[in-house]
Amino acid sequence: MKKLDQYIVKTFFGPFLFIFSVLFFIFIVNIIWTQMSQLTGKGLSYGEILKLLFYLGMSVVSMVLPLTILLSSIMTFGDFGERYELAAMKAAGISLLRVMMPLMITVGFLAGILFLFSNNIIPDFQRKAKNMLFNIVSSKPAINFTPGVFIDQISGYSVKFDKIYGENGEKLEGVFLHKNASPYDDQQTIIAKKGKFAPAVDRNYLKLILYDGYVYEDKISGKPFEERKKQPNQSVKFDSLVYHFDISELIEKGIEQEKITDDYRFQTYMEVNTTLEKNRKTNVTSVGAMVSPVITQTNNYVQYIDKIKTTEKNIKEPYKIDTLKKDKKLEVLWGAYNKIEALKDSAASNENSIKDTIKQHNKIVMYQQRIISYSFTCLIFFLIGASLGSIIRKGGMGLPVIIAIVIFIIFYVLNLTVENMSWKGKINPYIAAWIPNMVLFPFSVWITYKALTDSQLFDIEKYKALFKPLIEKFSKPKEHQRYQ
């Protein structure tokens, strides 16, 4: 590698490392903000939280790296232009394309690393993150125990604790438990001075050990009203009492929210291909199962006609509705109406099911194609950034950053738009994943051409001169000050 190439690459990696760190931190903060509600109040150590955030944060690299390349290339070539280094290189007979070549090779290498990272490392980290979330949900369900406040998240109970303390919030004071029951079922209330949470053998239960309290019960289930009025209240004093709450419903709900079974994001490009093949076969079967009953119901008469040899002469109406009596006519019309409504409801239900099937299939395709498309985005962003930087000839964090952010916002909005349209089945997912690149690639070629031909694209004086005749035509000439 020549000294000039070494200098160009070295200059590029200065802002690259700084910008990558800043953007990665910003994206991680966004993940922390969205995930904080799931992590607080679970008794997790700082190490566990950092580990989970690290696993989740690796997925943002596929978006951070292209933006970093865009910003770094604009700033690098802007600095070259501002310090007249680019002019000196051109004066020495070195073309802009030759100056861009070492960084083009470097960015190509980074794009290859991004593909390997997205294909192998990100799916593995996503799997580890989901496994951690699964374990958190299973062992520490989302129950918001707030001191002095009744909670009803535990099915069938109202619970209140006056004080919660301890390293993991496992110790309690002033415990009040009330079993939510109808007036005809057994009533139960438990009051204890102290208590603590303890690990249960079955993860579907929350174990609570209570100390120094009373159990108040009214056993009235199955007894007549008069006998229930005479039933005396029962109270039992205890020194210690072990109580188990069934929290399986909370756990299942939490697991469903985490979509643990949605595992296409844990697969490589080739593994997703296999998943898509299986998915297509399953979809054909499920759609056939949905369509078959509707066809059977609507085409019963047609199927009967198909089975017998008929001509136009022997196809006759079974009866004319106008010939029926009023009651019979209403009965026939009501039956027809109910059948049509049933078919409409069935069609609407099938339509929603088919939409969900299309959305799931297209999500898998979009995920697979983006493993490759984001690598090409790096190359496109480099061409745009390097060309804009050489035209603007301004370094630092001012105008170049603003332009880069505008370009990235356009890319991001395009990405989200085509993604939503693909999920709705309006765009082929294979094309939708590449549309942002298809839109920006011609722009990158055009802006590179402008940079190679030393176009004054951002020269304000040029645009002033262009509109000067128009401005003079509609503006009055000003008199000289001495004649006023």
| Cβ(378)–Cβ(111) below 8 Å | yes
* Model confidence band, residue 380 (pLDDT cutoffs 50, 70, 90): very high
Q: What is residue 314's predicted lDDT score, i.e. its pLDDT?
A: 52
Instruction: Give the CA distances from residue 265 to residues 100, 134, 185, 280, 428, in Å, rounded to whole numbers and listed in that order.
Output: 35, 16, 48, 17, 20
Q: What is residue 291's predicted lDDT score, i.e. its pLDDT?
A: 66
For the cut 50, the answer to whether the pLDDT of residue 376 exceeds it is yes
CB-count exposure of residue 414 (10 Å: 0-12, 13-18, 19+): middle
Question: Which residue, among 248, 253, 177, has the nearest Cα to 216 in the 3D structure?
Answer: 177
Question: Which residue would you say has higher pLDDT here, 173 or 290?
Answer: 173
Can you give the residue ranges of every domain in the chain?
1-142+269-477, 157-246
Summarised one tens digit per residue, pLDDT across range 126-144 is 888 877 776 665 555 545 5
| Cβ(389)–Cβ(78) below 8 Å | yes
User: Mean pLDDT of all residues in the chain?
Assistant: 78
Q: What is residue 375's predicted lDDT score, i.e. its pLDDT?
A: 92
For the cut 80, the answer to whether the pLDDT of residue 48 exceeds it is no
144: left (phi over 0), alpha (psi -120 to 50) or beta: beta
85-89, 97-101, 461-465 — which is least confidently predicted? 461-465
For the cut 70, the answer to whether the pLDDT of residue 479 exceeds it is no
* Model confidence band, residue 472 (pLDDT cutoffs 50, 70, 90): low
For the cut 60, the answer to whether the pLDDT of residue 107 exceeds it is yes
Q: What is residue 473's predicted lDDT score, i.e. its pLDDT?
A: 67
Question: Which residue would you say has higher pLDDT here, 115 or 332?
Answer: 115
Tokens of 321: 């509705």
For the cut 60, the answer to whether the pLDDT of residue 275 exceeds it is yes
For the cut 80, the answer to whether the pLDDT of residue 464 exceeds it is no
**Coil, strand or helix at 212:** strand
* Model confidence band, residue 313 (pLDDT cutoffs 50, 70, 90): low
* Model confidence band, residue 287 (pLDDT cutoffs 50, 70, 90): confident
Summarised one tens digit per residue, pLDDT across range 385-441 is 888 888 887 766 667 778 888 888 999 999 999 988 988 888 898 999 999 999 999
For the cut 80, the answer to whether the pLDDT of residue 5 exceeds it is yes
Number of other CB atoms surrounding residue 162 within 10 Å = 12
Q: What is residue 105's predicted lDDT score, i.e. its pLDDT?
A: 92
Mean pLDDT of 460-483: 61
For the cut 90, the answer to whether the pLDDT of residue 378 exceeds it is yes
Q: What is residue 263's predicted lDDT score, i.e. its pLDDT?
A: 72
164-168, 227-231, 447-451 — which is least confidently predicted? 227-231
For the cut 60, the answer to whether the pLDDT of residue 302 exceeds it is no
Q: What is residue 305's predicted lDDT score, i.e. its pLDDT?
A: 46
Q: What is residue 442's predicted lDDT score, i.e. its pLDDT?
A: 92
Summarised one tens digit per residue, pLDDT across range 224-272 is 766 666 666 678 888 888 877 776 665 555 544 544 555 778 888 888 8
| Cβ(425)–Cβ(418) below 8 Å | no
**Coil, strand or helix at 476:** coil
Question: Which residue would you say has higher pLDDT here, 449 or 298?
Answer: 449
C-alpha span between 357 and 279 (Å, rounded): 9
| Cβ(190)–Cβ(175) below 8 Å | yes
* Model confidence band, residue 383 (pLDDT cutoffs 50, 70, 90): very high
Q: What is the DSSP string of 308-322?
A: S---TTT---S--GG
Q: What is residue 301's predicted lDDT score, i.e. its pLDDT?
A: 45
| Cβ(115)–Cβ(371) below 8 Å | yes
Number of other CB atoms surrounding residue 369 within 10 Å = 18
